[in-house]
């Protein structure tokens, strides 16, 4: 059974869910999610002989939500992972991340390869530092309409999502899933209308995301969305902070999984970067795994395939 508790980590109180015994596997969720997004992974990974821990990350759920925007840099987030490992009495870890959790996982492996036994990223590929800050790049490409730029406006997306959190989450999850109709599109926002206005309201949710799942997710945002959105407000700051690792590759054993209907792998320059990963990463376990018909919510939409790939990877690294 999944157990819950709170631990002191890197100056904050962090809520974690855990199950199993064996080598430590930390599962890092993305936006707008919580530990619950890994509900399908706990049992299979624990049964495979691993200690599975999924936190609510900084600014999410029952973990502390620091007020200062500057408290959400990639160095804070990697520091939370390192602090969590120590709080659990462990010295090494397998780290797995989805969406925003993937950059945290990748950077943990990049900055602290001494403690990472293996790293897996879902949806978001390993870090590649561009020639200029990411918000500047996307502002130029899309005239300020890219969702990162929209999220960077203090209080704007916060207010839009907080008006009706359950409906906001319902629309967001459906629109980025493999179940959404039409072709995968770049996530652009009309600033005057907001992001949700153009998203259809799904009357029926898919089997992988039930009304009960939506209830649990909505409850985790009872304190609002600002903490989660503050991660995006540090994108350019993260670009500055990671300058010492410009050109460095992730060296621990690695795995990358993504859906062919996920908009993230189609961001400008990303398809070509994914194609180059086998040549760039010396310890890539296998070629990137592309899941047909899968949208953004990788481990929720395709739990069986993701679990099989993770177990195969983790066992190969033990």
Dihedrals φ, ψ of 314, to 5°? -65, -45
Q: Which alpha helices (DSSP H) does the chain contain, by range?
A: 42-47, 74-87, 101-111, 134-142, 147-151, 156-162, 165-175, 211-220, 226-229, 235-241, 270-280, 298-301, 303-317
CA distances from 216 to 27, 35, 182, 293 (A): 18, 10, 28, 26
Tell me, yes or no, if 249 is annotated catalytic.
no
Tell me, yes or no, if 29 is annotated catalytic.
no
Dihedrals φ, ψ of 152, to 5°? -75, -10
- Classify 39 as helix, strand or coil: coil
What's the rounded Cα separation, in Å, for the pair 165 and 55? 21
Which residue do the tokens 């919580």 mark? 34
SS (H, E, C) 232-295: HHHHHHHHHHCHHHCCCCCCCCEEEEEECCCCHHHCCCHHHHHHHHHHHCCCECCCCEEECCCC
Check 99, 107, 174, 285 and give the catalytic one: 99
By annotation, the residues acting in catalysis are 99, 296
């Amino acid at each position: 059974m999944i157990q819950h508790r709170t631990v002191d980590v890197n100056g904050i109180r962090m809520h974690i869910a855990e199950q199993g015994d064996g080598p430590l596997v930390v599962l890092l969720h993305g936006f707008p999610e919580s530990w619950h997004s890994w509900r399908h992974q706990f049992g299979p990974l624990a049964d495979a002989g691993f200690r599975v821990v999924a936190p609510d990350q900084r600014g999410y759920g029952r973990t502390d939500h620091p007020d200062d925007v500057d408290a959400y840099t990639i160095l804070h987030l990697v520091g939370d992972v390192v602090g969590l490992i120590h709080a659990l009495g462990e010295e090494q870890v397998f780290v797995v991340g989805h969406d925003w959790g993937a950059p945290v996982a990748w950077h943990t492996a990049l900055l602290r390869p001494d403690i990472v036994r293996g790293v897996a990223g879902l949806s978001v590929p390993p870090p590649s530092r561009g020639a200029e800050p990411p918000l500047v790049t996307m502002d130029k490409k899309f005239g300020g309409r890219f969702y990162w730029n929209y999220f960077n406006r203090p209080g704007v997306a916060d207010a839009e999502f907080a008006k009706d959190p359950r409906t906001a989450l319902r629309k967001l999850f459906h629109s980025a899933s493999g179940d959404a109709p039409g072709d995968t599109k770049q996530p652009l926002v009309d600033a005057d209308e907001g992001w949700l206005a153009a998203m259809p309201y799904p009357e029926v949710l898919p089997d992988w995301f039930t009304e009960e799942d939506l209830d649990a997710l909505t409850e985790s945002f009872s304190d609002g969305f600002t903490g989660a959105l503050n991660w995006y407000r540090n994108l350019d700051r993260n670009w500055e902070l990671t300058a010492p690792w410009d050109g460095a590759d992730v060296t621990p054993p690695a795995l990358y999984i993504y859906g062919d209907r996920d908009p993230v792998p189609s961001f400008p320059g990303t398809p070509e970067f994914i194609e180059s990963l086998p040549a760039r990463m010396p310890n890539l376990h296998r070629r990137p795994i592309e899941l047909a018909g899968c949208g953004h919510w990788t481990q929720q939409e395709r739990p069986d395939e993701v679990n099989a790939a993770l177990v195969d990877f983790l066992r190969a690294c033990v």
